[in-house]
A and B are shown apart, each in its own frame.
Chain A
């Protein structure tokens, strides 16, 4: 379990466009760097990010090594109903980290 920061407004008006910001701590090793022993450092990246809102997918990203370490992604969605936003990051080895945030829509 690594550190992930998520910013979702706690309350929103129905139909309002809200911005969601996410950041997860990860080295995003490109596989192109040479280590101290002279051997290339193997690639280790997060390659999938998915966000669902009450079970419905609202944003999906495929990441490549050109994404900086500690991937930061911000995007928008329409606040439709109170509920849960689920964020999941999957790395190239298939390990997934899931985090949730609550939103109240008036």
Chain B
């Protein structure tokens, strides 16, 4: 009989393990949906269409380690002469893991003089932030940066 008792105890533990697993899954399902790299790809397609994107020309400047994801200084600059024939038409910023993949979309003209802008963004998790630029000649260029976030934004609860 001792043999059998040991078995059943093992079974009980197994069951407990399975139950905990289910609980974990439920918790995951309740969490606010986070954007996935696939959602980001979709957002990119919505913004720029089916064009192919080349790497380079776009420089994204963010602190590599962010203590507070609620306000992260972010600067994008694109290598462009900004003349009437050769200028940056639009710059888009995307992220992988916020609830929504879009961050900001900017339209420029040769009047800008310099293809750059700064803002402050929210980051919900450590992730890759990508910037894409549309040039007047119809080509698309992108740059990305990995950011580590220690305190996340977007999904925190309001303190009473």
Contacts and interface: CB of A to CB of B under 8 A. Distances in A.
Interface of A is mostly: strand
Interface residues of B, number: 35
24 contacts: A17-B114, A30-B154, A32-B32, A32-B155, A33-B154, A35-B158, A36-B158, A53-B111, A56-B111, A58-B111, A61-B107, A62-B104, A63-B104, A64-B102, A65-B122, A66-B103, A66-B154, A69-B70, A71-B119, A72-B118, A73-B119, A75-B112, A77-B112, A77-B113
Interface of B: 32, 70-72, 95, 98-100, 102-109, 111-114, 116-123, 153-158, 160
Main SS class of interface, B: loop
B106 A59 contact: yes
B70 to A, nearest CB: 6
A76 B91 CA distance: 14
Interface size class of A (residues with CB under 8 A): 20 to 34
Contact of B158 (A33, A61, A64, A72): A33
Nearest to A38: B157
- 9 shortest A-B CB distances, which residue pairs? A17-B113, A78-B113, A68-B120, A76-B114, A68-B71, A60-B107, A75-B117, A66-B103, A64-B102
